[in-house]
Structure 1
Amino acid sequence: MKFLFRGLMAPVLTPYSNDGLFSIQEDIIPKYAKYLSSIGIHAVLVNGTSGEGMSMTVDERKAVTEAWAMAVKETKQILMVQVGGACLKDVQELAAHAESLGSDALLCLPELFNKPQTVDELVKYLTYVGQAAPKTPLLYYHIPSYTGIKVSMPQFLAAAAHNIPTFAGAKYTDNNLEEGTQCLAVENGTLSFFLGCDHVLAGAFTLGFDSAIATSLNMLPSPSIKILAAVKNNHSSEALQEQRKLSKAINVITRNGGWVSTMKAAMSLMTPINVGPPRPPLTPLIDKQIDQLKKDLTALQLL
């Protein structure tokens, strides 16, 4: 099974209330979808790392998916749903639910407690997930810095493609571009392969990547769009210049906190979409840190 979308996809942030209850603000999602569409982002990933999917209950994840599925009917954006990070039965339930809503693709983390130790074990796990949504392309979410799972990705992709009928590719959140470029050649390059590292987009695109799922696309899409266009037009110096701008902005944003916490703060400052705080156990920025972030973003002419 193939997933045909290529290009840039935003892993959307989940809007929570700022009243200490951390309730999901579903009414923000239609506005969020329209905002992303207006800035040139035509595909979204729901309930991923940036979306704090693993901090939500199954019912909450379903509600967020339903809200996005409804929103993209109007905006015509591609919808990918991350279903992993729970017990297998719940993952299968989330996969079936996403398929019932007409999601364009599924993304799935590996089992996070009884972790797969081999390629065969990982393939078997995703086979169970794929069986729950037999009509929807399934991609693997490779993020070893979080999961600790470091099987050979080229070997895994080849095995998954041959053994899972719905398998369509992976999100590769790793800066090991040597391994990444080997993955691009698996199945004669027919798998969908998304880079998940904002800091190395220019290098990855130069080496043959054509797609990315990057958090910075939510609030700072222009550099990534320009990087991809510059590489396609063989303008390597322009791509490098835009990458430096993007990396500098990301370093400023993430200077005073964790990835999701700082990205949510930047989103609420830099865009008309207020996504609220992260949900515990993640820690929101304090007022002093937000004030400093405002100053730093202003200095970069991003506010």
Structure 2
Amino acid sequence: MSRISTGSRWQIVWLLLPVLVTLFAVAGWPLFRTIWFSFTDASLANLDHYTFVGLENYLVRYQDQWFGLLTDSVWWNAVYNTLFFTVVSVAMETVLGVAIALTLHKTFPGRGWVRAAVLIPWAIPTIVSARMWSWMLHDQFGVINDLLILCGSISEPLAWTADPDLSMWAVILVDVWKTTPFMALLTLAALQMLPKELFEAAKVDGVSTIKTFWKVTLPLIAPGVMVAVVFRALDALRVFDLIYVLTANSTATMSMSVFARQQLVAFQLVGYGSAASTMLFMVIALCTVIFLYAGRHRFYQRF
């Protein structure tokens, strides 16, 4: 293997320098400021005059009692909601995405139009789709309730986004509708790279379609599906706009991002909200490391 000369190395550094400076400006500096504010008592009222308080926003003991983010039941409820939303929505999107990709991989009349139609939900901005679904799920004039009553599935309208027992499932439903095309697109790309000779050989040997899927197709597309799952999981962990538009600050669906926004904007507690944002960053960073480690060692092939 040929070594890179010193001049070439400096050329690489100079070419990467603008990218690194831009990345630091748009991501690194705001992240550093957020972490710094999490150790202060800053608020929107005294953003220029704050005091360093150490770990008080995270955990502090006062008169034999512990206070801070790590003892906040609302925060831990937001953590649970975020993890539940991520696991359930990504699992459903993966199953449906693989099924849709397998269907679109087949040859049939109008396949190009169907592929384009499937991508429409993913192409719609999240705010627009969330507002559209909030009207459809409205308990008084929503079309979803009208259709369910017409079919005899329910006897009276349901408050999909207001009922604590239904609101999380309503959010998951909308997210699955919007993001399943993304999973289908990446899975379809993996399917189209598979050699046709394998399936022709399996057909000649008399292997059933189901067995071919489990023994041939799924193991071969597993790396592509894993990439899609990782991207979707990391995106779902920081979900904000969908939940906020549909259910606002409801504790039944409050995610970590919605909690941080509530502290930062509604309560004007910049220090406490920054602590929540920092914890959200740590959770996403930890999940990223776990996903990268699992992908490198290919744990998904052991199941």
TM-score by length of 2: 0.26
Q: Which structure's residues are more often helix, by fraction?
A: 2
| TM-score for the superposition, normalised by structure 1 | 0.26
More strand by share: 1
Which protein has greater RCO, CA pairs closer than 8 Å, 6+ apart? 2
Which structure would you say has the larger Rg?
A: 2
